[in-house]
Amino acid sequence: MGMRRGTGIGLVRCAVLAVGVVAAATACVPPPEPQEPVVSTFEALGAPHVEPALVPLRWKVSDAQGDTLTCRLDGDGDGSWDLTLDPCPANASRNAPSVAAGTHTARLEVTDGVETTVATTTYTAGAPTSTEGFDLVIRPLDDLDPDVLAAFEAAASRWEEAIVRGLSDLHVAVDTGPCASDLPFDEVVDDLVVVVSYEDIPPVAWAAPCSYGPDGLPRLAFVEVNPELVPNLRLLGSLDEMAVHELGHALGFGVIWQGLVAGMDTPDPRFTGPRALAEYSALGRSGGIPVGTIDGLWQPHWDSTFFEEVMARLPDGAPLSRMTIASMADLGYAVDLDAADPYTPSLPAGTCIDFGGGVTRCW
């Protein structure tokens, strides 16, 4: 990390000092020596990066005089400032999106209005092995209701907007389990096939991958929907949101989180993927992203206090947020953050809730 300090000009402060009752003298006190802001950390995380890369950049900054800082970020090193933050968070991260292949030197400029420090960090993005778009194929096994099938087809298109690069083709053969409950599956997959069926299950629906490629990403997955609860989804207007949610799991959300959840065996598990954390930071939050729990066990969802977000709950109109799309990049997908819906958490940043039993969670 390279750094450059700026210069500033201090002003001499003068005061009138009383001497007895008959005379006065003027004393000039020099101001404190100006000090430039300190950038203690500026680094690129989440390697390896592949075009179109989503590169999380993290920093820690401070000012000796306690002045409010402003910072500017050039995330892809093209010489243009991409983002200005005023005030600049002392400990934060942001994503540099859609970075092209090559070596890049990102810049962070921090100023207190007088002194300026510029820090740099260098990272490399590799060329993609595929330039094709991502194809998510819905394969209905049962005679699904037309609106249920339409919801999954629309949800597949929604995820294809968010995931922008295809995966390597893979021959997949499965003859047992939920992905082949009615007929064997034996074909070459490009990029993901999701088998959708009606099943008598306790929840409204559930989903999971069945087969993975050498990159650790799913090529075949299933979704099972409880047909008895479909009328409830229609009544709530949540059929579309259910389909987006379950396809998120089919893609690996909450399922291939190995190594990305801290405190998995505690009452306060947190998702730690650096790209999702950068979007969480952009929402004014710090630390890991709270993961859902039931009876002390972590669940493959964002915590329910995120309310509207589609990978937390399923109200009508639940958004697919930048945070969720960035979390898919932490799994290995190439993503487009501009495909996200607008989203602001209902709980203000810094909210803490006491759940009793010594468990307090903060957002």
Mean pLDDT score, 116-133: 94
pLDDT bucket at 1, cuts 50 / 70 / 90: low
pLDDT over 90 (residue 346): no
DSSP secondary structure letters along 248-302: HHHTTTTTS-TTSEETTTSSS-EE--HHHHHHHHHTT--SSEEEEEETTEEEEEE
| Mean of all residue pLDDT scores within the chain | 90
Q: Does domain 1-128 have CATH number 2.60.40.10?
A: yes
> Which pLDDT score is estimated for 347?
84
pLDDT over 90 (residue 84): yes
> Which pLDDT score is estimated for 308?
85
pLDDT over 60 (residue 125): yes
> Which pLDDT score is estimated for 10?
43
> Tokens standing for 36?
């430039």
Q: Give domain limits for the chain.
A: 1-128, 131-252, 261-363
* % of the chain at pLDDT higher than 90: 72
pLDDT over 70 (residue 114): yes
The residues that bridge with 163 in the sheet, in sequence order, are: 335
**Quick one: CA dihedral 287, 90, 108, 119, positive or negative?**
negative
pLDDT over 50 (residue 9): no
pLDDT over 60 (residue 288): yes
Mean pLDDT score, 170-178: 87
Whether 1-128 and 261-363 share one fold: the answer is no
**C-alpha span between 159 and 114 (Å, rounded):** 46
User: Is-contact 36 56, C-beta < 8 A?
Assistant: no
Class of 131-252 in CATH: alpha beta
Q: How far is CA 200 from the centre of its chain?
A: 34
Dihedral through CA 113, CA 58, CA 50, CA 164, nearest 10? Answer: -80
Mean pLDDT score, 268-280: 96
Short-list 224, 330, 204, CA closest to 273: 330
Short-list 355, 361, 191, CA closest to 268: 361
Mean pLDDT score, 41-61: 97
> Which pLDDT score is estimated for 16?
52
pLDDT digits (tens, 9 = 90+) for 224-268: 999 999 999 999 999 999 999 999 999 999 999 999 999 988 889
Q: Which DSSP symbol is given to 147?
A: H
pLDDT digits (tens, 9 = 90+) for 183-213: 788 999 999 999 999 999 999 999 999 999 9
Question: What are the Cα distances from residue 237, in Å, to 249, 265, 317, 321?
Answer: 20, 35, 8, 19
> Which pLDDT score is estimated for 15?
52
Q: What would the CATH number be for the domain defined by 261-363?
A: 3.90.132
Does this model's pTM top 0.85? My answer is: yes
Question: How many other C-beta atoms lie within 10 A of the C-beta of residue 16?
Answer: 9
pLDDT over 50 (residue 11): no
> Which pLDDT score is estimated for 126?
96
User: Is-contact 51 96, C-beta < 8 A?
Assistant: no
pLDDT digits (tens, 9 = 90+) for 25-46: 555 666 667 789 999 999 999 9
**C-alpha span between 335 and 288 (Å, rounded):** 21
